[in-house]
C-alpha cells in the first residue's frame, strides 16, 4: 500500500496507456487472424439457407445461395485436403 502512495501524482495514466496499447494490439491480431481465416466474406449469410427455403427467396437469391454453398463446400474440401497432407507430412518426418 505504501508503494502506491509513494508514486508521484498521475501514475495511473501510464497504466491506462499500457492497457489501451494491449487492447489495440489484441484487436490487430484478432483482425489479422480473421482475415487469414476468411472471416470477412459478405456471402456467408447465404450459408444458412437450404432447399427448404427456395419458396421464401427470390430466384436470384436462391441461385446465389446455391452458388455460395458450392463454393464453400469446394473450399472446405481444399482446406481438409491441405490439413490431411500437412498431417501426413508431419508423420513422415518422424
- 54 and 82 in a single domain? The answer is yes
Predicted confidence at residue 56, as pLDDT, reads 87
Count structural domains, the chain: 2
- 70 and 89 in a single domain? The answer is yes
Cβ-contact 65, 46 below 8 angstroms: yes
- 2 and 20 in a single domain? The answer is yes
pLDDT along the chain (94 residues), means of 10: 79 93 98 89 80 86 90 91 88 69
- 48 and 34 in a single domain? The answer is no
Residue 83: give the domain boundaries.
41-94
Other C-beta atoms closer than 10 Å to the C-beta of 80 total 10
- 94 and 51 in a single domain? The answer is yes
- 45 and 81 in a single domain? The answer is yes
- 49 and 34 in a single domain? The answer is no
Predicted confidence at residue 93, as pLDDT, reads 67
Amino acid at each position: 500500500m505504501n508503494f502506491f502512495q509513494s508514486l508521484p501524482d498521475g501514475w495511473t495514466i501510464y497504466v491506462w496507456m499500457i492497457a489501451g496499447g494491449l487492447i489495440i494490439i489484441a484487436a490487430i491480431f484478432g483482425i489479422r487472424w480473421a482475415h487469414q481465416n476468411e472471416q470477412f466474406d459478405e456471402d456467408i449469410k447465404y450459408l444458412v439457407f437450404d432447399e427448404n427455403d427456395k419458396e421464401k427467396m427470390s430466384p436470384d437469391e436462391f441461385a446465389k445461395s446455391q452458388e455460395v454453398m458450392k463454393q464453400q463446400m469446394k473450399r472446405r474440401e481444399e482446406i481438409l485436403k491441405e490439413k490431411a497432407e500437412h498431417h501426413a507430412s508431419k508423420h513422415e518426418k518422424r
